[in-house]
Structure 1
Amino acid sequence: ENPRDVKVLHELGRLHHELGENERAVEIYNQITDINPLDAEALRLGKDASARASMTTGGWTQAVTYRDLIKDKEIAVSLEQQSRMRLTGESLDQQIAETYAFHQAEPTNIDLARRLGALNEQKDDIEAAIGWYQYAADLTKGADPGLIRKVSDLKMKGFEREIAAHEEFLATHDPGHDLYVNKSEELKVAKKKRAEILVEDARKRVGRNPTDLQLRFELGEHLVNAGHFRQALPELQRARQNPNARLKAMNLLGRCYSELGMLDLAMKQLEEASQEILPMDAMKKEIVYNLGLVYERMGAMEKSLNCMKQIYEADYGYKDVASRVESSYNQNISQA
């Protein structure tokens, strides 16, 4: 068979995992990542297999009961003291292995699962930490909001890192690079996943406090960022009743209507919002700029240009208003 058939290698890796042959599984997943360095599943499973292999060779998986690991109170005290220390390197790996062994003896112990989450977080292994915190949260049947928040925060941290790595790659490589297109797509996917997590969290907060208009605005804002413009409409419409979020909600409503092709509604919303702000502050600049874009799509070029000129007079460096305004004068000169 083809030794570079990734699908077959994945099946082989899973087989070794089921048989408990962790070192062989590591070899298979390393082989996959040699073929495709971007195979996230192989990277994750290889890391998991490596951790299990190290635990096995250290004898930690051979414990049958809690007493097999804790021979006397002195050892228990020692472990408790270590749990309060900031561990690094081998000592951290040893603590993970020891705690995992305790967990195998007491798989429904929430504190042990939480401890494994904390240790892996300390090790900066975000995926493993998420897995253990989620396991602990499942044991509580969702009754511990702190664990649920921890899972969400770490997922967000993981996506932020992934986004930063993709952006750095794209900023330092030419578009002709072999991986450029793939990295661009992965960046879009990561941003989408980040937005979906924020939407999910916002929905839960609204569910707990359905009359809180600030939470309604935040949900609407996250829905817009996730590209769910139609779903965002009712949330933002309600959020307009909150004086603190009114103008921001109206601006986002204008964007939603525009994205949905309802340009007349977008124009009405943004015009009203613009009239409610006197100084050309950051909020008004954004609203007037978006209104200018709507006018442009409607073919009202003079109104669009007037919007850009209002911003130009207050902030020359705002987005692309300078080039828009100045190019209109250049066109007038060339036509004269």
Structure 2
Amino acid sequence: MAETEPTEPTEEIVETQIKDLDPRFVKQLESAERSIDKNPGYTIDICATILAKYPSCVDVRKIMRQAQFKKYGKGNPVAKLSGDVQGMILSMKAPSMIKKGQALEVMAQAEHLLSQCPQNASALKALASAAESLSYWGTAASAYMAIAQFQPKNEKNLLALANAYVKNKQPDEAAQVCEQILRRNPSNGDAQALARSASVIKTMNKGNWEKEGGDFRDKLKSSDETADLEKAASLVSDEETLGRMVDRLREQIKTDPENVNLYREICANLRTLRRYSEALEYVRQARQQPLGKGDTTLEKWEHDFIVADMENKIETLKAKLEENPDDAATKAELEELSKKEHDYKLENARLMVERYPNDFNYRYIYGQLLFEDGKLDDAIMQFQLSQRNPKVRLQSLLGLGRAFILGAKYDLAVDQLETAKKESKIMNDAKKEIIYELATAYEKMGEAEKAFNEFKEIYSADISYKDVSKKINDYYESKRK
């Protein structure tokens, strides 16, 4: 994975664009692109030939990736198994090959494996590492993005992706990835640092500070601003630096109050600083501007900041209660605020479902909150609808399984969880959760052998998961009696 710690500045490498290719290759590429659907193998061969000559052309690599997926089709289990093994071997060899100056060979071998199975995480990581060693940051980003498509919750990979975007001077893309990470883990320091860097790069790009023929320092109003930007751009920005950037944006908003982009930037920085109540004020101001009134992203941000502000206060109260567990006033305040937070989320989800009935992601969120309230039938109805969205299908099936278990409808739970298990291709935390609930359903049905077989699958992959180790040991102990 890419490092997110401060690094020394390196010479900028400009990756090759399609327009810079030899005209003969451009014609071949046009022909290859037209052949993706009917003859993806031909497209792969042409792209491989071009990449041998122009290894830094990320656009050619993207066309090749499309062809690889087209060729792979619905999936070949044998090819995937073989590819996974070879990918692991390559990932072990890659570091030493890169040190020997064989990064391009690593990239070629990785692409060969990806042509057999494009969902090969080890091969994609090797490709990304080799690309990073050559400062081909666009290529590295495309490899990490490919992993993210089938491992969307892999935080380590998302950090590497955000870092590659920052290095490639794609601040908007980097900010989006950081937002995705921070939504799940608001305290992730690496994501916060990368978000700050993305914000600075975006600011510098807007000010055209890197224009040829002039030093960007000449365009700044004070030496303090120079120090702020240089520190943030090198990923060593601290709270004081970011605070000054917020102050600067606040002044800009006063002189240009209808500029929604300024509100976006100050909100992003305030979120990184965890100053959610201030961020909420600015996002509400943004939604009053002509270009902000119909902005659904700002609408979502307002909701997110309200929740984040309440969660922040809840964390503070919990910490206070840990110091003094007998503090009745704090305990009552915590209970009241926790209920207020849940009720707000529930009402907001209900309104979103009412407003956007075909947005099944909102239905999933609403179903989860109804489930937490013990309203099982209502939750089941939402999960049954939300499973139509591929992005939340597995979570919806898991939600159905849990609701049926809680309602003592164990056979129905098994049906949903078996389906979810079959559709989960990788043994990640999400699949472990599904299998665990399936085993629990079998336990409730008195099917000890079937429950054991499910727990055993998790045990074989991750002995430390929940209480699986105890479940397995208890089963064997019962057999000895």
TM-score by length of 1: 0.51
CA distance in 2, matches of 1:311, 1:261: 24
8 Å Cα contact 1:196/1:226 also seen in 2: no
SS of 1:316 mapped into structure 2: coil
Inter-CA distance 331–202: structure 2 relative to 1 (3 Å threshold) = same
User: Among 298, 321, 326, which residue is 1:178 paired with?
Assistant: 326
CA distance in 1, matches of 2:426, 2:340: 37
Inter-CA distance 262–187: structure 2 relative to 1 (3 Å threshold) = farther
1:310 equivalent in alignment to 2:457 = yes
1:156 equivalent in alignment to 2:304 = no
User: Among 199, 204, 208, which residue is 2:355 paired with?
Assistant: 208
SS of 2:441 mapped into structure 1: helix
SS of 1:302 mapped into structure 2: helix
Following superposition, the deviation at residue 293 of structure 1 comes to 1.7
- Which residue does the alignment assign to 2:253? none
Following superposition, the deviation at residue 129 of structure 1 comes to 9.0
1:66-122 Cα offsets, whole Å, 9 max, x none, are xxxxxxxxxxxxxxxxxx9966xxxx9xxxxxxxxxxxxxxxxxxxxxx9xx9xx99
1:273 equivalent in alignment to 2:424 = no
CA distance in 2, matches of 1:311, 1:187: 36
Inter-CA distance 271–202: structure 2 relative to 1 (3 Å threshold) = same
Following superposition, the deviation at residue 285 of structure 1 comes to 0.9
Q: Which amino acid aligns with 2:394?
A: L
Inter-CA distance 238–161: structure 2 relative to 1 (3 Å threshold) = same
CA distance in 2, matches of 1:219, 1:151: 18
CA distance in 1, matches of 2:275, 2:425: 50
1:128-147 Cα offsets, whole Å, 9 max, x none, are 99799989999x9xx77788
TM-score by length of 2: 0.37
- Which residue does the alignment assign to 1:297? 444
Superposition RMSD in Å: 4.4
1:282 equivalent in alignment to 2:420 = no
Inter-CA distance 229–186: structure 2 relative to 1 (3 Å threshold) = farther
Gaps of 5+ in 1: 1-83, 93-114
- Which residue does the alignment assign to 1:62? none
Q: Which amino acid aligns with 2:308?
A: K
User: Among 396, 407, 421, which residue is 1:249 paired with?
Assistant: 396
Inter-CA distance 154–216: structure 2 relative to 1 (3 Å threshold) = closer
1:224 equivalent in alignment to 2:375 = no
User: Among 312, 316, 327, which residue is 1:165 paired with?
Assistant: 316
Inter-CA distance 125–237: structure 2 relative to 1 (3 Å threshold) = closer
Question: Percent identity between the aligned chains?
Answer: 31
- Which residue does the alignment assign to 2:69? none
8 Å Cα contact 1:292/1:304 also seen in 2: yes
8 Å Cα contact 1:254/1:269 also seen in 2: yes
Following superposition, the deviation at residue 314 of structure 1 comes to 0.8
8 Å Cα contact 1:292/1:305 also seen in 2: yes
Q: Which amino acid aligns with 1:165?
A: T
Inter-CA distance 86–223: structure 2 relative to 1 (3 Å threshold) = same
- Which residue does the alignment assign to 2:344? 197
CA distance in 2, matches of 1:136, 1:297: 52
Following superposition, the deviation at residue 156 of structure 1 comes to 1.2
Following superposition, the deviation at residue 274 of structure 1 comes to 1.9
- Which residue does the alignment assign to 1:39? none
1:239 equivalent in alignment to 2:390 = no
Following superposition, the deviation at residue 207 of structure 1 comes to 2.9
CA distance in 1, matches of 2:245, 2:391: 44
8 Å Cα contact 1:254/1:265 also seen in 2: yes
Inter-CA distance 291–134: structure 2 relative to 1 (3 Å threshold) = same
8 Å Cα contact 1:133/1:150 also seen in 2: yes
Following superposition, the deviation at residue 267 of structure 1 comes to 2.3
CA distance in 2, matches of 1:244, 1:133: 28
8 Å Cα contact 1:195/1:225 also seen in 2: no
Following superposition, the deviation at residue 309 of structure 1 comes to 1.3
Following superposition, the deviation at residue 315 of structure 1 comes to 0.8
Inter-CA distance 168–295: structure 2 relative to 1 (3 Å threshold) = farther
Gaps of 5+ in 2: 1-243, 251-262
CA distance in 1, matches of 2:449, 2:332: 37
